[in-house]
Amino acid sequence: MDRRSFLTLGVTAGALSRTLLAQSAVPRDLLDDLVAANRILARQRVVDGMGHVSTRHPGRADHFLLARSVAPALVTADDILEYDSNADPVDARGRASYRERFIHSEIYRARPDVVAIVHSHSAAVIPFSVVPGATLMPISHMSGFIGDGAPVFEIRNAAGPNSDMLVRNRELGAALATSLGRHNIVLMRGHGSTVVGFNVRQAVYRAVYAELNARQQSEALRLGTPTYLTPGEAVESARANDGQQDRAWNLWKRAVTQKGLA
């Protein structure tokens, strides 16, 4: 990546020297992708001032990288912190962390195959989390990763009827991870969704297309009963899309590195 594009993401030579990049085995391109992921999700209207994306630490599989508590569109490399397996920052430098970082720590603990996670409150997805029987299903080949339907995490089962709906501790994070199971996405009743991937680019792709699929499914339901992908079609479509993920990623990244969010 050229210097101009890297600086567009909010990284200067001075800032870079203060980041974990200078202290640990985090490749520059991974840090760059994580910053871009935050910007892309904001541009695609999957996140707004809330929501977050993480990746496993490439040198320590039980640690992960996640921004400090800041709006995704404003994330720079100097905002990225390293967290341990209990979701405690290794060196917060006095900065606040996302309250729901336990979503990340507990899914990474439960799913060794997961390398990146996106949590969002994308608007079209939420209705499918609150209407019994209205399962989010893959309606097009672009959303094959949804599989045979997205499970729904009911926080009342773990936190009782009077919680603030936030996954704010390890116990609730573990309960969410259980609801996710082996799926690629889990909806969170009245809250949003969490998607997982084998790299940052895939997790971002899935978060974007989960929102698009929800919009398309809602529109189709207005017309009648949709024909959803079969389990076999979902598997094969997801496999085909995984091989093409950089086409979307490169387009989205170019928009945020060269033109900002306007």
pLDDT for 38-92, tens place per residue? 999 999 999 999 999 999 999 999 999 999 999 999 999 999 999 999 999 999 9
- Name the active-site residue from 82, 100, 106, 211: 100
Degrees to nearest 5, angle at CA 197 with 235 and 80:
170
Is 219 among the residues known to form the active site? no
Q: How far apart, in whole angstroms, are the C-alpha atoms of residue 16 and residue 87?
A: 23
CATH code, domain with 102:
3.40.225.10
Predicted confidence band at 184 (pLDDT cuts at 50, 70, 90)?
Answer: very high
Residue entry with tokens 């892309």:
40
Q: What is the dihedral of CA 27, 28, 30, 32, to 10 degrees?
A: 170
Predicted confidence band at 159 (pLDDT cuts at 50, 70, 90)?
Answer: very high
Residue entry with tokens 């950089």:
246
Q: Pick the closest to residue 66 from 42, 17, 99, 109 (CA basis).
A: 99
Domain count, the chain: 1
User: Which domain does 216 fall in, by range?
Assistant: 3-258
